[in-house]
Amino acid sequence: MPIVNADVAAVFNEIADLLEVQGANAFRVRAYRNAARMLSELGRSVKTLVDRGEDLDALPGIGQDLAGKITEIVATGTCAQLERLRKELPPAITELLKIPGLGPKRVRALHQELGIQTLEQLHRAAEQGHVRAVHGFGPKTQQHILQATAARLQQGHRFKLLMAAQVAEALLAELAAVPGVQQAVAAGSLRRQRETVGDLDLLVTTQRGSPVMDSFTASPDVREVLSKGSTRASVVLRNGLQVDLRAVAPASFGAAWLYFTGSKAHNIALRKLAQDAGLKLNEYGLYRGDERIAGDTEASVYQALGLPFMAPELREDRGEIDAARAHRLPMLVQLPDLRGDLHAHTRESDGHDSLEAMAEAARARGLQYLAITDHSQRLALVHGLDADRLARQIDRIDELNAGLSGIVLLKGVEVDILEDGTLDLPDAVLQRLDLVVGAVHHRFDLPRDRQTERLLRAMDRPCFSILAHPTGRLIDERPASDIDLPRVIRKARERGCFLELNAHPARLDLTDLACRMAKDEGVLVSIASDAHSTLELDNLRFGIGQARRGWLASPDVLNTRTLQALRPLLDRTMSRGARIREHAASGQQALATPSTP
């Protein structure tokens, strides 16, 4: 689709916002805002002016520099300066600008004085009374921010992804069995793989006379019927989850699936594209006048709008439409891309199954390798391994690998990161491993500077491969630790280690925005199940959903690599251990082990 004036104005306004957050020269900021305002009000198409080669310098308030940027935006949908500014600031900063009353100047003050980078951090600072101490804020402003952030974070009671997915799968199976139902699918935030779900949106196509609405509302799991008609019904299940069902004609199925999948912001952006092209888009189809020109599939709608198909996980109005226009959409990672799993537990600590059972379950799922990472000794309540028990497990895995076919068990440990940044086990035993997964399991409440330094010191240890569940959050149970995540990500890049996207649906840690930050910094992400049983290896699918929301492609994910390609990457994080293994393999005496940290 052609670039319209509003697109160029939106780019200039975002540049102005980000410059102001950075504290740039006020005249420079004002120049972008004035240009954006002028373009919004301009009665002529700026693209037409560019195509005709007209002098953009003649436009009010447009000099040579802005004229060049307008030409660049018309050609690409963005400009180099905007992309540079986005990389210089945490991605979640733009979320703060959506809080009522928080303009760029106030966001800048919060960022500079309190280190606020995310909505969660702002809410916590307001709760703890820190916001009112910032110049320009006060008790009333702090209370307003507290209420606004709470509303934005809560947005009604939401259900964890695992539960919502299980409910949806059961309901869809029931709906598919109803006479006359041709197809039944999930839409809404579940389909976009958001980490929590407010309600379920289901969609069916049916033959005339299908009793699908009667069957749906008569389910024994329904606590309350909110509404019921011939093409739609809404119910509340006994667990409190609201489910909305829509029945549509096959000719409208794609448009309806697109509409009910959302997000609202993505849909609004698509409708604007349609309007700019003289078309109308709604849940029934894409229309030119009274003629429906697309709508039976989602792809037909996107194609008619001049766009490639966009994966549901990307539909959040976070730059996906501009990326699609510029042919820069990533080829998102998929579950079959994963060659292995680098975080799993056995009954040696708090897991439920044996080494053999975990190996067989991983092989049955098509994985080529599985890292056994039982807890270290500090977690006594889960029977964590001390150095002697870990050494015995290492020997047992070596013996087991000699007889395994189609799967390799990697020797690892989930070692506790202590409060001072040291690790819970001595280097002498860690060096015998293929990888070390470091994790925080206590003192989540340390101040940001201490919590961040704790992680940075741990990542500097001689044997450190992956930072597990980096923020330590448990969704709806424990907030994320207050850390300087950009610093941690940059440290991982410098150190050559990796970050984990913990796929357990109670964690999903890293967040989607953090995944995108890691991608931008060139830090590989390990999508790990954190399985404590054979069944929990299936957690990987939720990690894939989160990774896709974070724009991760297969090359951005550590464990999409074959074992042959993975080993050198792990060895670089375990340099001393790699040398010891090399000498041992060649029959030479192992190097002397370093002292315990």
Class of domain 253-325: alpha beta
Burial of 204 (0-12, 13-18, 19+ CB in 10 A): buried
Report the distance separating Cα 503 and Cα 548, nearest Å. 12
Q: What is the DSSP string of 372-415?
A: E--BBTT-GGGT-B-HHHHHHHHHHHHHHHHH-SS-EEEE--EE
Decide if 159-248 and 253-325 have a common fold. Answer: no
pLDDT tens for the 597 residues of the chain, in order: 446 677 788 889 889 988 988 888 888 888 998 888 788 667 678 888 888 888 888 888 888 899 999 999 988 878 999 988 888 887 667 778 777 777 888 888 888 888 888 888 888 888 888 888 888 888 888 888 888 888 767 655 678 888 888 889 889 989 999 999 999 999 999 999 999 998 999 999 999 899 999 999 998 778 899 999 999 999 998 778 899 999 999 999 999 999 999 999 999 999 999 999 999 999 999 999 999 999 999 999 999 999 999 999 999 999 999 999 999 999 999 999 999 999 999 999 988 899 999 999 999 999 999 999 999 998 776 789 999 999 999 999 999 999 999 999 999 999 999 999 999 999 999 999 999 999 999 999 899 999 999 999 999 999 999 999 999 998 877 889 999 999 999 999 999 999 999 999 889 999 999 999 999 999 999 999 999 988 889 999 999 999 999 999 999 999 999 999 999 999 999 964 444 445 445 544 433 333 333
Give the per-residue pLDDT at 581: 47
Give the per-residue pLDDT at 3: 64
Report the distance separating Cα 244 and Cα 483, nearest Å. 39
Contacts of 302 (CB under 8 A, 6+ apart): 308, 309, 310, 324
C-beta of residue 217 within 8 angstroms of C-beta of residue 245: no
Give the per-residue pLDDT at 156: 57
Report the distance separating Cα 430 and Cα 423, nearest Å. 10
Please give the helix or strand (H or E) that residue 264 lies within, else none.
helix 264-276
How far does CA 422 lie from the centroid of its chain?
A: 29
Query: 159-248 — its CATH code?
Result: 3.30.460.10
Tell me the helix, strand and coil percentages in the chain, rounded to 5.
50, 15, 35
Give the per-residue pLDDT at 164: 87
Q: Of 154, 159, 195, 118, whose CA–CA distance to 481 is shortest? A: 118
Give the per-residue pLDDT at 366: 96
CATH of 335-585, one of 3.30.70.890, 3.40.50.280, 3.30.70.141, 3.20.20.140: 3.20.20.140
User: What is the chain's Cα-based Rg?
Assistant: 27
**Both tokens assigned to 373:** 């990472």
Longest dimension (CA), the chain: 82
User: What are the residue boundaries of the structural domains of the chain, listed by start?
Assistant: 5-154, 159-248, 253-325, 335-585
CATH topology of domain 5-154: DNA polymerase; domain 1 (1.10.150)
Report the distance separating Cα 513 and Cα 315, nearest Å. 14
**Both tokens assigned to 442:** 């206590």
C-beta of residue 106 within 8 angstroms of C-beta of residue 137: yes
**Both tokens assigned to 443:** 């003192």
